[in-house]
A and B are shown apart, each in its own frame.
Chain A
Amino acid sequence: MRITRVLGAALLALGLAAGPAAADSSPSPSASDDGKAPSRAGTSFRTATEIEQGQQATASGSTGDYLYWSFPADAGQRPTVKATVKLPRTHGAQTWQIDVYDGLRRRQSCQYGSATRTAGQGAASVELACVLRTVRAWSEPWANDPLPGTYYIRLTVVDLGAADLGLPVSAEVRADSEDIGGAAAVDGSLAKPLVPGIAVKSEAEQDGAKSAVLSSIEPDDGWSSGWWTDRWVWTAVGGLLAALAGIGGYALTRGSGRPSRVPPNV
């Protein structure tokens, strides 16, 4: 009787323990290709074309142009930026590069991916990738950790022969992100995401006036409020398991049946 109860408790504990593991592997945000993907690019931070994550933006330009896009990234995401440049039929060797900047126009490093690549003479295209660090909800002002907000992509050729300048190229850019989840959850949060011009924007909204803003970017489902993390599940399950283990431990000390030292007929 007691053994079955202990076994049952153990099974329950196992089942609960599997819970956080399931919560851990939350799927990455689904790519939404419903909206029309932009077919142009800006030429400066100010004019950067806004794209959403999962959108395949295209643009045609000339070799030597600086092409800018911007996308939103929220806390707990690890963005990956990929770009493909289709080169003209004849050209010399040229080196292309993507740089990613955060909402404060600070350059963000790539963890992996070849952000700079040289296309050999006559190569049809060149592919670039940059995996950023995980976006945190908060960081010290003295750090340049990625924070939620606007991210700028700059695509350009950094090394080319003089004769290749101005030749037509077309580029495809896509930003995706992997959801890192609670492992990256930190305490603290920004009052406003790192979106340039957000102070001006909120003012304009109060006035009811519609004016151009530096960046009107926002994720599909809004910026995360920052209080939810799967750490709540882990900690709650941990507490529950601790309680069960406590009951188990208590039960062990009681043994089965009446204590042997207690005489019968008491």
Chain B
Amino acid sequence: MIRRQRLAAGVCALLAALTAGLAFPSTAVADETQQAAPKVELVLDVSGSMRARDIDGDSRMAAAKQAFNEVLDATPKEVQLGIRTLGANYRGNDRKAGCKDTEQLYPVGPLNRTEAKTAVATLAPTGWTPIGPALLKAADDLNGGDGTRRIVLISDGEDTCQPLDPCEVAREIAAKGIGLTIDTLGLVPDAKTRDQLSCIADATGGTYTDVRHKEELSDRVGQLVDRAADPVVTPVATEGAAECTKAPSLKSGLYTDREEFGRQRWYKVDVKPGQELRASVSVADDRAVNPDYGVLLRAVTMHGREIVRGEAAGNGRTDVISTGLRYPKPGSDDDTATAETVCLQVTNSFSAAAGVKTTPGLPLELTVDVVDGPSKASDVASFGLGRGWWLLGALILSGFLAGLVWGWLSRWRVAVWRTN
């Protein structure tokens, strides 16, 4: 009887869940992206040092040209590829002029292989290494469109146009544009070049590669271009507030924001009774930070009561620290029950040494999913069922005892009946 009731309850719950699913489809428009064309710009250093003949006996320039030819042949159709050079034209010694020397060799757009190859063939190692300005221009080249944007920077020396730190330029670019990544490749780099290029890559969530052989270069650039062609969700930029009442209201989707050291960000999500809120947050360290860090995500009611929290801490080298939480809001029998506004608070405990720039803030990625709530567990065990030899033993013993008692009872009754 009890089992039947439970089954009936289960069927009812199933039906309820189904109708709820049909009646309240989660209203999410946050990342409704049709696949826009991914854009890639290859930024090639054509400074004088590219003449050095130390890549498999060939000059760095020759290796780069060969790699470009191979990459251009293998570029996927959907990728819009552009090429920009730095230090290709100005031969003089004037630093000011040399640091403006960056040129778009091939515009970002549908690729014409022959044209692009011809353009690459004309290059000859010439001038300065203005990485910072070239990155700024490259970011402009990639403007517009919703697709992923990627800059592949190939250089053999550090920036010669201080004080504009290319690393900070990269961070500014990442803070401006959504989903722009800079991958860097160092051709036979020295320690300083490596530091600078890896710093640029870290600032935008890109990768750094050390190239010493020809095939490494073409393989890696090809891989990076392919990676750009992978469809990914483009996050929506949002700006969290310093308190819940002013916080932006979010729906299901993927969002990005920036959070400075030691600050909090608040967001709001509406959760109807019987729905479950799932939120996860990742805070990336795009600059040099101290080795101990953490992130805290709290779901708080409008009145300031904490519902649930997710926390994570770590130490050592990392790209992001992330955590998440779920909050199933209990269902309500009252049809007029309104959605509850849940405040999400994100704080981080990253810290940086003195002298590290604190603006723009650290990149923050927030995913929000509002789905149907889970079915409640009424027992630890599945449906209250048991398993194991102890269960069998107990059942057999109780069955046996029941049989004995029943037998004795009936014998006694027969005996009583006989004597009467």
Contact = CB atoms under 8 A, between A and B. Distances in A.
Contacts of B232: 46-47, 212
Q: Is the interface of B mostly helix, strand, loop or mixed?
A: mixed
A211 B404 contact: no
A51 to B, nearest CB: 14
B372 interface: yes
B386 A46 contact: no
B72 interface: no
Given A203-B28, A211-B33, A46 B365 contact: yes
Contacts of B197: 166
Interface stretch (B44-52, B95-103, B325-333): B325-333
Contact of A47 (B27, B230, B281, B395): B230
Contact of A234 (B198, B223, B312, B386): B386
Contacts of A65: 207
Contacts of A158: 316-318
B262 interface: no
Interface string B188-204: 01010011011000000
B365 A197 contact: no
B227 A235 contact: no
B325 A104 contact: yes
Contacts of A244: 399
B365 A45 contact: yes
Interface stretch (A26-34, A77-85, A123-131, A184-192): A184-192
Given A40-B223, A200-B253, A253-B411, A190 B26 contact: no
A230 B414 contact: no
Interface residues of B, number: 106
Nearest to B34: A211
A194 interface: yes
Nearest to B26: A199
B387 A101 contact: no
Contact of B418 (A42, A229, A238, A262): A262
Given A190-B374, A211-B34, A231-B386, A44 B205 contact: yes
Nearest to A184: B382
A61 B365 contact: no
A17 interface: yes
B392 interface: yes
Contact of A253 (B191, B194, B408): B408
A167 interface: yes
A20 interface: yes
B380 A186 contact: yes
Contacts of B326: 104, 141, 194
Interface residues of A, number: 91
B322 A211 contact: no
A66 interface: yes
Interface string A1-42: 000000000000100010010000000000000000000101
Contacts of A253: 403-404, 406-408, 410-411
A245 B209 contact: no
Given A159-B316, A199-B369, A234-B392, A191 B384 contact: no
Nearest to B402: A246
B378 interface: yes
B381 A186 contact: yes
Given A60-B223, A247-B403, A262-B418, A231 B35 contact: no
A159 B318 CA distance: 10
A227 B383 CA distance: 8
Q: Which of A66, A104, A253 is most buried by chain B, counting CB atoms within 10 A of its CB?
A: A104
A199 B379 contact: no
Contacts of B367: 105, 196-197, 214
A106 B276 contact: no
A213 interface: yes
Q: Which of A40, A61, A65, A165 is most buried by chain B, counting CB atoms within 10 A of its CB?
A: A165
A202 interface: yes
Contact of B254 (A138, A192, A214): A214
Contact of B387 (A106, A183, A247): A183
Q: Which of A42, A107, A192, A230 is most buried by chain B, counting CB atoms within 10 A of its CB?
A: A192
Contacts of B405: 249
A43 interface: yes
Interface in A210-266: 211-214, 227, 229-232, 234-235, 237-239, 241-254, 259, 261-262, 266
Given A105-B322, A235-B387, A238-B395, A185 B316 contact: no
A198 interface: yes
A227 to B, nearest CB: 8
Given A43-B205, A46-B254, A246-B400, A198 B369 contact: yes
A203 B27 contact: yes
A169 B312 CA distance: 29
Contacts of A230: 387
Contact of A105 (B189, B206, B282, B414): B282
A187 to B, nearest CB: 4
20 contacts: A42-B230, A43-B207, A64-B207, A66-B319, A157-B317, A159-B317, A165-B198, A191-B276, A192-B371, A206-B25, A212-B231, A230-B387, A234-B386, A238-B392, A241-B392, A242-B399, A243-B399, A246-B403, A249-B402, A253-B407
Given A203-B27, A212-B232, A229-B383, 11 more contacts: A46-B365, A137-B382, A157-B317, A163-B191, A197-B254, A203-B29, A203-B252, A206-B25, A211-B34, A245-B403, A247-B403
